């Protein structure tokens, strides 16, 4: 199951983590986000032991959303060693997200 990243746990669970993190910035009212959501859940099941894979609800976590200048959703960030190493803006098929994730494992 995908993790829930929040303003409160982002520093510890993403920036200070010893694993790469894949973060899906989404909102309940976002149609394309609903298409990406199940893909993120699948990747969390498949790669959860190797990476921290989770979601940030932009409506409930304005601090992180503003810090990373998230203007369009879904936006998926890949963070390694506290730095953004890759990004996907807009809905993408599982193969694209999986390829980006594997590149940083």
Question: Which positions are catalytic?
Answer: 30, 33
Separation of alpha carbons 69 and 42, rounded Å:
26
The secondary structure element, H or E, covering residue 18 is: none
**Nearest residue to 90 via CA among 69, 70, 76, 104:** 76
List strand residue ranges (DSSP E) for the chain, in order: 3-4, 20-26, 51-57, 75-80, 83-89
**Nearest residue to 82 via CA among 5, 20, 1, 2:** 20
């Amino acid at each position: 199951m995908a993790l829930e990243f929040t303003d409160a746990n982002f520093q510890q669970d993403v920036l200070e983590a010893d694993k790469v993190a894949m973060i899906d910035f989404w909102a309940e009212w976002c149609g394309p986000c609903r298409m990406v959501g199940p893909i993120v859940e699948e990747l969390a099941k498949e790669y959860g032991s190797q990476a921290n894979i989770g979601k940030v609800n932009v409506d409930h976590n304005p601090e992180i959303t503003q810090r990373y200048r998230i203007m369009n959703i879904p936006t998926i960030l890949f963070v390694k060693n506290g730095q953004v190493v890759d990004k996907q803006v807009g809905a993408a098929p599982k193969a694209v997200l999986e390829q980006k994730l594997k590149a940083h494992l």
